[in-house]
């Protein structure tokens, strides 16, 4: 195991903040965000270490230098995340490593075994603990396994886990409201901003050429999806939409970027379609070229808390169409950088896709204006350079966003009434 990922005793007095995660080597939003946080915190001299558990095969040069790996005693591939290996850390050895670091604050990104180690550390050492709500496992599992009784157990565990922290950090107003309805402590839920490394995620003029060379894709109008290939991402919706275009003369291609448990089944749906291209897993340094070379980004997921790939697409000047449920709708400016449309309305999705294709081919000035809007929106609102300062100053962010959503902290009856109103409003907006 490479020495740089073991505890650095020379610097242990400086390691005051520990950030725990069960995932750091994957291409999901959590891993990508935490790699950048690790890299940025090192450059900006924040007293922060990221804590995870990795196999030797998972350790490579893409990981941040301030990552510390915990020894684990068992690993397995969960059925619903077959491409991910979950590790169970050694409790006593992990606590010894953590105690030697003498942390003053704990941040947790995942509710798995490593996250539980972080929570236990906070309890044993009486430390402040903030937990980031990155993933809506309750909704994801419902999409994958249906209305199974185990969902009640999962939801109860998730509610217990997150309520253990002093703060529950969410990336969207939608999920702030949703967690309230699920019974999470209202006084703990705080908003924090996410961001991108704009030195990496920016428009690449050779994007079209990159796609043509690497995927043998001739001059076509390109629809794009990137992300985990799983049923909870509502990818069946994309296949239904694309098949509607087979009889239309748009010279259209669909590019699917990513890996996941639904990949084999999803490929079978397009087995006879030569205009659908599956790239598999793609490295972060290549993704901006794919975004830049595509004409429209489609993201019909109803379970994403934020939608990092939606932000990545827009940073590379690619408009996005997203669902009206979840976090992604808050990072798309309707009719300016893309559109927010219910996934119950296939015809509206089809009409909007046609609208963008017509703009791109026949009204390029209008299309380029939308592309400019995408780029400027990300630059002005989601610069990663401000990310750590935002996370470490949650109260300031909360004050800035208080005009968008006010948490009621009065009597219980007032709270219940307010939550019921939000539920009714949510149902009416569907």
pLDDT one-digit tens code per residue, 342-371: 999 999 999 999 999 999 999 999 999 999
CA nearest to 207, candidates 309, 298, 286:
286
Q: Count of CB atoms within 10 A of residue 318's CB?
A: 27
Residues 124-152, mean pLDDT to the nearest whole number: 87
CA nearest to 51, candidates 104, 85, 101:
101
CA-CA distance, 246 to 266, in Å (whole number)?
17
> Do 207-383 and 3-191 fall under one CATH topology?
yes
> According to the model, what pLDDT value does residue 238 have?
95
* Cβ neighbourhood burial of 244 (10 Å; 0-12, 13-18, 19+): middle
CA nearest to 79, candidates 231, 306, 280, 267:
231
Q: Which three-class secondary structure string do you get for 341-355?
A: CCCCCHHHHHHHHHH
- CATH no. of 3-191: 3.40.50.2000
CA nearest to 112, candidates 144, 66, 80:
80
DSSP E strands, 104-258: 105-108, 128-132, 167-170, 189-191, 221-226, 252-257
Residues 404-420, mean pLDDT to the nearest whole number: 39
* Least confident among 79-88, 157-166, 275-284: 79-88
CA nearest to 203, candidates 339, 346, 325, 371:
371
Asked if 381 and 400 touch (Cβ cutoff 8 Å), the reply is no
Q: Which CATH architecture has domain 207-383?
A: 3-Layer(aba) Sandwich (3.40)
pLDDT one-digit tens code per residue, 3-25: 334 444 444 334 489 999 998 98
Asked if 108 and 129 touch (Cβ cutoff 8 Å), the reply is yes
pLDDT one-digit tens code per residue, 298-355: 999 999 999 999 999 999 999 999 999 999 999 999 999 999 999 999 999 999 999 9
* Sequence ranges of the domains in the chain: 3-191, 207-383
Whether pTM > 0.75 for this model: the answer is: yes
Question: What is the band of 274 on the pLDDT scale with cuts at 50, 70, 90?
Answer: confident
Asked if 328 and 310 touch (Cβ cutoff 8 Å), the reply is yes
CA-CA distance, 298 to 226, in Å (whole number)?
9
């Amino acid at each position: 195991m490479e020495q740089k990922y073991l505890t650095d005793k020379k610097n242990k007095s400086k390691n005051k903040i520990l950030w725990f995660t069960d995932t750091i080597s994957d291409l999901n939003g959590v891993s990508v965000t935490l790699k950048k946080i690790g890299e940025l915190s090192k450059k900006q001299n924040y007293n922060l270490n990221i804590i995870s558990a990795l196999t030797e095969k998972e350790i490579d040069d893409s990981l941040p230098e301030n990552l510390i790996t915990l020894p684990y005693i068992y690993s397995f591939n969960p059925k619903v995340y077959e491409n991910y290996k979950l590790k169970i850390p050694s409790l006593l050895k992990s606590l010894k490593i953590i105690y030697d670091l003498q942390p003053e604050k704990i941040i947790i990104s995942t509710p798995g075994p490593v996250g539980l180690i972080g929570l236990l550390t906070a309890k044993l050492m009486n430390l402040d603990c903030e937990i980031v709500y990155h993933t809506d496992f309750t909704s994801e599992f419902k999409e994958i396994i249906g209305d199974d009784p185990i969902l009640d157990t999962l939801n109860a565990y998730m509610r217990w886990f997150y309520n253990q922290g002093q703060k529950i950090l969410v990336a969207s107003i939608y999920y702030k409201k949703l967690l309230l309805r699920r019974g999470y402590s209202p006084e703990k839920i705080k908003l924090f901003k996410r961001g991108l490394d704009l030195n990496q995620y920016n428009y690449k003029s050779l994007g079209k050429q990159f796609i043509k060379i690497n995927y043998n894709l001739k001059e076509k109008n390109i629809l794009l999806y990137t992300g985990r290939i799983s049923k909870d991402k509502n990818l069946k919706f994309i296949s239904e939409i694309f098949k509607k275009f087979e009889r239309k003369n748009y010279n259209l291609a669909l590019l699917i970027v990513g890996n996941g448990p639904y990949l084999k089944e999803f490929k079978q749906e397009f087995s006879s379609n030569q205009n659908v291209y599956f790239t598999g897993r793609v490295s972060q340094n290549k993704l901006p070229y794919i975004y830049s070379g595509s004409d429209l980004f489609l993201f019909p997921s109803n379970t994403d808390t934020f939608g990092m790939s939606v932000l990545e697409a827009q940073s590379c000047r690619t408009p996005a169409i997203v669902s009206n449920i979840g976090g992604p709708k808050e990072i798309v400016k309707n009719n300016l950088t893309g559109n927010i449309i219910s996934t119950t309305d296939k015809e509206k999705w089809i009409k909007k896709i046609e609208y963008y294709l017509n703009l791109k081919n026949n009204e390029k000035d209008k299309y380029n204006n939308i592309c400019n809007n995408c780029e400027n929106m990300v630059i002005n609102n989601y610069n990663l350079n401000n990310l750590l300062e935002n996370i470490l100053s949650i109260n300031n962010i909360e004050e800035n966003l208080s005009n968008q959503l006010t948490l009621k902290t009065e009597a219980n009856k007032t709270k219940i009434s307010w939550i019921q109103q939000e539920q009714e409003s949510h149902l009416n907006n569907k």
